[in-house]
A and B are shown apart, each in its own frame.
Chain A
Amino acid sequence: MKVLVAVKRVIDYNVKIRVKADHSDVDLTNVKMAMNPFCEIAVEEAVRLKEKGVATEVVAVTVGPKAAQEQLRTALALGADRAIHIETDARVESLAVAKLLAKVVDEEQPGLVILGKQAIDTDNNQTGQMLAALTNLPQGTFASEVVVDGDTVNVTREIDGGLQTVALTLPAIVTTDLRLNEPRYAKLPDIMKAKKKPMDVKTPADYGIEVASKVSLLKVESPAERKGGIKVASVDELIDKLKNEAKVL
């Protein structure tokens, strides 16, 4: 079974973001970029499926600027066999990414597609679900466990209030939650080997997909700053403040 993994290049999760002075967007110039953390978990899960003999090939795909090839090389270093880069400098919304991925699914015919549940830049949490709808495949979102068994996959999902397990027919779409696995670090020899692994470069036009969206970003602002308050010296003072000043007890 072939496994397709989608990854996204995003701002590194440790970086404190700045809003541009003209409020047009977040300023990404000279900011450290990295693979979206949920995508790292997706790559790890795909590689583990290959190590277990469930997957025969792992294909990584991304949609983004030329620099996003760095993240594909990371995926290759972590164990993906080959990569597909759909190159565009446009701001691509989840729907357009899902349409492009649907074309890749059509071409590659994977048994399983694994994506991160959300990217930490737009925080959309949409692409996997949209891909499932467009390919008319079942979805197991927010996965904390994925067990392939013959023609089905059992996905345990992190839902409000606990866990839910669903059984899906294959092929299926899975999106990862935090506890699915702990991604490994790439080793230097693997990073070197990854440079020689095949990478196809395509454009949205090659797939006949228009990436323009009907949603426009009017402005981006910093949220209202919360001011720090006071330090209290004791539990008694804390209770007093909460009762008599904040009036929340």
Chain B
Amino acid sequence: MSILVLADINDGQLASATAHVVAAAKAIGGDIDVLVAGEGVQAAAEAAAKLDGVSKVRVADNAVYAYQLAEPMGALLMELANGYTHVLASASTTGKNVLPRLAALKDVSQLSDVIGIEGADTFLRPIYAGNAIATVKSDDPLKVITVRSSAFDAVADSGSATVEAIDVVVENTQSSFVKEELAQSDRPELGGAKVVISGGRGMGNGENFKLLDGIADKLGAAVGASRAAVDAGFVPNDMQVGQTGKIVAPDLYIAVGISGAIQHLAGMKDSKVIVAINKDDEAPIFQVADYGLVGDLFDILPELESKL
């Protein structure tokens, strides 16, 4: 087996998700190469070379790969995928954007959001918002897989892989980057945080999410939201936890004013400890919460913040 892992890059740095994807690659077994593509990605390449289990880091550093746009990235992977049995990426918005293009160009299926490895060709993946787990077997010559990073523990960074530059440069006349508006936050990223505190429709409005901020600061937590809160316009979509947002599995998940719709549970039910704060003691969220506190969140949150 020979596996190529597409690295996630954030602002020139290696994203934490990649260490989890390499762990999934190790579970499959075989040689593992990591592709670091972007513009000005040397630091990311060096970080990838330290990931345990990686034999080679391949670096495509060129302006055409900046922001990892789907069209050039798909073409690059098409050039590089020969000789590999598996191509893996995290199920991030980049992995989800790019990998299906490779699969289609190679005339193979893609397996999305894999959460378990049964063997080199057999995988577990959630369907129906995680309300069923499918075991699927791929007989395609190349397995193209996106990995749910929260389902695999990150590998350590004590390795020392070789780093080689790739001079493949593809053309892209179809798409161009215009701008990015990224949320500025000193808090940990939602996908990788050890503690997540999320607000739902019960928060009432976007302003009230500030009540979560103080607690998040004390706990070193990321702040999330339910789809209902996003749909109501309280907070931006990149905070959404759920089937159609981010899938998280922190050590502690605190759900505030969230009823617990199926689609939200799909995004957080693998958290180690779940706390629910809701004024409705019949809310479905209490059926999955380890600790439930029934009451008015506008009383509870300030008290919780002051006592932590």
Contact = CB atoms under 8 A, between A and B. Distances in A.
Decide if A and B are genuine partners: yes
Given A214-B140, A231-B286, 4 more contacts: A142-B96, A165-B177, A228-B292, A249-B252
A29 B25 CA distance: 38
B211 interface: no
A189 interface: no
B243 interface: yes
B138 A214 contact: yes
A229 B290 contact: yes
A17 B173 CA distance: 45
Interface in A154-207: 154, 157-169, 172, 177-179
Nearest to B244: A178
A142 B93 contact: yes
A218 B290 contact: no
Contacts of A16: 131, 262
B238 A162 contact: yes
Contact of A167 (B94, B99, B107, B176): B176
B104 to A, nearest CB: 4
Contacts of A169: 173-175
A161 B292 contact: no
A11 B176 CA distance: 37
Interface of B: 10, 67, 69-71, 74, 92-94, 96-105, 107-113, 122, 126-140, 173-183, 189, 191, 195, 219, 227, 230-231, 236-238, 240, 243-244, 246, 251-252, 262-263, 269, 272-275, 281, 286-294, 300, 303-304, 307-308
Contact of A246 (B70, B97, B290): B290
Interface of A: 11, 13, 16-17, 19, 26, 38, 93-95, 98, 118, 120-127, 129-134, 137-139, 141-142, 144, 154, 157-169, 172, 177-179, 213-223, 226, 228-232, 234-236, 238-239, 241-242, 246, 248-249
B70 A139 contact: yes
A205 to B, nearest CB: 19
22 contacts: A16-B262, A120-B128, A123-B126, A124-B110, A127-B100, A141-B97, A142-B93, A158-B238, A160-B191, A162-B236, A164-B177, A178-B227, A178-B244, A215-B138, A215-B140, A220-B133, A222-B132, A223-B131, A223-B133, A228-B287, A229-B290, A246-B291
Given A169-B173, A231-B292, A248-B273, A123 B113 contact: yes
Nearest to B253: A248
B174 A17 contact: no
A177 B104 contact: no
Contacts of A122: 127
B193 to A, nearest CB: 13
Contacts of A137: 174
A238 B275 contact: yes
A11 B127 CA distance: 12
A220 B128 CA distance: 11
Nearest to B115: A223
Contacts of B92: 160
Given A166-B69, A215-B136, A242-B291, A126 B93 contact: no
Contact of B110 (A123, A126, A177, A218): A126
B275 A242 contact: yes
B122 A218 contact: yes
A210 to B, nearest CB: 11
A93 B110 CA distance: 9
Contacts of B128: 11, 17, 26, 120-121, 123
Contact of A236 (B136, B269, B307): B307
A138 B71 CA distance: 6
A162 B184 CA distance: 9
A160 B291 contact: no
Nearest to A233: B293
Considering the complex of A and B, which 4 residue pairs feature the smallest CB-CB distances, nearest first? A129-B100, A229-B290, A130-B104, A162-B182
> Which of B10, B101, B122, B251 has the most chain A CB atoms closer than 10 A to its own CB?
B101
A138 B111 contact: no
A130 B237 contact: no
Contacts of A154: 178
Contacts of A125: 96, 100, 112
Given A26-B128, A94-B110, A179 B70 contact: no
Nearest to A128: B100
Contacts of B137: 215-216, 218
A166 B93 contact: no
A95 B237 contact: no
Given A215-B111, A229-B289, A232-B292, A161 B175 contact: no
Contacts of B94: 159-160
A160 B238 contact: yes
Contacts of A221: 132-133, 135
A223 B132 contact: yes
B97 A138 contact: no
A109 to B, nearest CB: 17
A202 to B, nearest CB: 21
Nearest to B288: A226
B72 to A, nearest CB: 10
